[in-house]
Amino acid sequence: MRIGYFIGHFPYPHRLQDDIYIKKYAHGGVEMAAYHLARHMVEKSEDVDIFTTAIGKNDEEQSNGLKIHRYATSFKVASANVSFKLWREPLNYELDVVHAHSPIPYSDLPALRYAKRYKVPFVVSYHFDGQETGGSFLRNSGVILYNRLFLSKVLDQAEVILVGTRTYANESPHLKEFHDKIRVVPYGINLKEFQISCSPKEARQKLNLPLEGDLILFFGSLVPYKGPEVLIKALKLLEHKSAHVVFAGRGPMEMDLRQLSQELGVENQVIFAGFVPEELKKYYYRAADIFCLPSVTMAESFGIVNLEAMASSLPVVASRLGGLPEVVRDGKNGLLVEPKVVGDLASKLSLLLENPTLRHKLGKNGRKIAENYNWDRVVDLIHKIYEEVL
């Protein structure tokens, strides 16, 4: 079986620790999920081609059995690379299955074009609802245009639509017409990557983090839909003045968040760690006492970082939103809060800060639950779907 994956940005495998690369090329949970899925399909002895964009000129790359076809960027919309060649060049390859990581118009539509022209099965992984606010005028206009004119056509043509959780499938306004073709397949995680022998204190020393006090970890891009400002406001309400919030990631909100922390008088309790290379992620999880993802919109469909925190035996505090409650089970492996409600978040964080026994219990349960999300199991499910549609 020869599988063609279409995605707007695909990680450069040899540059996952490169800060300069990350600044130039969009790279997040969706991209890493696509990367791990493709790698595991190769391990099942399938032929895999990736069709995506390049930082610079056209580039053909082979890595761990993946054939990666990168096409030069014609222009950018916000941080997104758009390539005209991504529309044309894949037509020169013979594929058995086309799989698009959606909703990304500049790769969804070329994938659909290929599938229709050569009459091959078309599978879509629907990762999130594209938000029509919160970005530049050009970016927002593009999302609105795609949502209104093209997204339903892409989903209608798919044989199967893969969604991370049943809750998200039921709540997304863009999926309500397509429930008959939706298959719930969760995201995966490599559990071994988060097994670490050092102590929390040793991890903090390695990362130059405070050795005393509790650490609340936020991992991800500093963008509006993830709600980082809600966490800073909640920090202000905590009685535990020795607690620190660590923002591991960068994004357009960083300067505003720094200013907010100063205005609230908690700047000495907020740490901006910036870009974190893949090899250091496990140390941040090990150093932390609590993981927090206070998302505020449906753009957060799953939150792979929640799985990473669970694999690291951390209790998770997350928003009762989209598919998050299926991953973070209230009172079992974490605590859920109402989106944007600062007082609720502060209350749940305080509960965990005051109760190490509860933290340990939730973290231990989370590790057990994370074992159900290993990549081998996820890839087996998707591989069976490919066989069904052929």
Mean pLDDT of 221-239: 95
Name the strand (E) or helix (H) holding 117.
helix 105-118
DSSP string of 325-380, one letter each residue: HHHS-BTTTEEEE-TT-HHHHHHHHHHHHT-HHHHHHHHHHHHHHHGGGBHHHHHH
**Domain residue ranges in the chain:** 2-188+374-389, 191-372
**Choice among 4-13, 79-88, 266-275 with the minimum mean pLDDT:** 79-88
For residue range 129-154, list pLDDT tens digits in order. Answer: 876 556 666 666 767 777 778 888 99
Domains 2-188+374-389 and 191-372 fall in the same CATH topology:
yes
Distance from the first to the final alpha carbon of the chain: 9
The answer to whether residue 20 scores a pLDDT higher than 80 is: no
The answer to whether residue 268 scores a pLDDT higher than 80 is: yes
The answer to whether residue 19 scores a pLDDT higher than 60 is: no
CATH for 2-188+374-389 is 3.40.50.2000
Q: Which two tokens mark 239?
A: 């009685």
Identify each DSSP E strand in 167-277 by its residue range: 182-184, 215-219, 244-248, 270-274
pTM value? 0.84
CATH for 191-372 is 3.40.50.2000
For residue range 148-204, list pLDDT tens digits in order. Answer: 788 889 999 999 999 999 988 998 889 999 999 999 999 999 888 898 999 999 999
Predicted confidence band of residue 106 (pLDDT cuts 50, 70, 90): confident
Query: What pLDDT shows up at residue 373?
Result: 92
Query: What pLDDT shows up at residue 75?
Result: 79
